Amino acid sequence: AQSVTQPDIHITVSEGASLELRCNYSYGATPYLFWYVQSPGQGLQLLLKYFSGDTLVQGIKGFEAEFKRSQSSFNLRKPSVHWSDAAEYFCAAGSGGYQKVTFGIGTKLQVIP
Amino acid sequence: DTEVTQTPKHLVMGMTNKKSLKCEQHMGHRAMYWYKQKAKKPPELMFVYSYEKLSINESVPSRFSPECPNSSLLNLHLHALQPEDSALYLCASSQAGADTQYFGPGTRLTVL
């Protein structure tokens, strides 16, 4: 069965520190991969996506993610976290041409001064 | 423009009421989606419309009735809901056959 795993439910980092959020997927073939961010009570905003090509993907707000086929991972990174980055982050995967996207359970990011 | 709009932002309704949620996009997308999101959970897919036709129904109870009157609009008609239906309802859209979905801000629904 297709699945997306985010092993960390909650992460706390200090403002200015680096961040890495983990995501692993289980799919029959290499899926399309996404990271979304959601502030409380808001919709989901697309941070970045990977379809093919360069395995290091740049997104908005200074985020990047690296696709590693050998580890079935698509981890999200940011070199220096800002207090405004505090939110819920969802990793998601889909198969090309198929509209059903599988979401991970989400990682809540807390940023402390 | 990657904006999906949803109205209303908040909705409180009784179990005997009939109400509708509205979603609109002007990106030329031909696929539109309804999701339900409970607190501290990921979004759960409810319905998918592709070229104004219902293509996916995730076994959603009939008290939820989707409608896609044209390629820009998506409605969700609500009738005889239960308190456990209280949630954030998210609309999304994408190019038909593509997976990048763009989400609206959601409607916070409370059923009393």
**Pairing relation of β-strands B107-111 and A32-38?**
unpaired
Nearest CA to B24 out of B102, B87, B85 is that of: B102
- Report residue A6 as tokens: 């985010």
- Report residue B74 as tokens: 């998506």
How far apart, in whole angstroms, are the C-alpha atoms of residue A50 and residue A32?
6
> Residue A101 has what pLDDT?
87
Question: Residue A73, Cβ neighbours under 10 Å: how many?
Answer: 17
**Res B1 pLDDT > 60:** no
Which single residue is written with the structure tokens 């998210």?
A: B90
- Identity at B34, one-letter amino acid code: W
pLDDT digits (tens, 9 = 90+) for B2-51: 699 999 999 999 988 999 999 999 999 999 999 999 998 999 999 999 99
Q: Which residues of A touch B43 (CB under 8 A)?
A: 44, 90, 103
pLDDT digits (tens, 9 = 90+) for A59-71: 999 999 999 999 9
Q: Which residues of A touch B41 (CB under 8 A)?
A: 105-106
> Is A41 within 8 Å of B99 when comparing Cβ atoms?
no
Over chain A (113 residues), the average pLDDT of each successive run of 10 is 92 97 89 93 92 92 96 97 97 78 94 95
Q: Which residues of B touch A42 (CB under 8 A)?
A: 105-106
How far apart, in whole angstroms, are the C-alpha atoms of residue B34 and residue B20?
13
Test mutation, A5, A99, A107, A109, chain B, max B CBs within 10 A = A99
pLDDT digits (tens, 9 = 90+) for B57-98: 889 999 999 999 999 999 999 999 999 999 999 999 998 766
Put simply, whether A36 touches B (Cβ < 8 Å) is yes
Put simply, whether A46 touches B (Cβ < 8 Å) is yes
Nearest CA to A93 out of A26, A20, A8 is that of: A26
Dihedral angle, C-alpha A24, A54, A82, A105, nearest 10 °: -20
pLDDT digits (tens, 9 = 90+) for A40-57: 888 999 999 998 889 999
Write down the mean pLDDT value for chain B. 92
> Residue A83 has what pLDDT?
96
> Is B42 within 8 Å of A94 when comparing Cβ atoms?
no
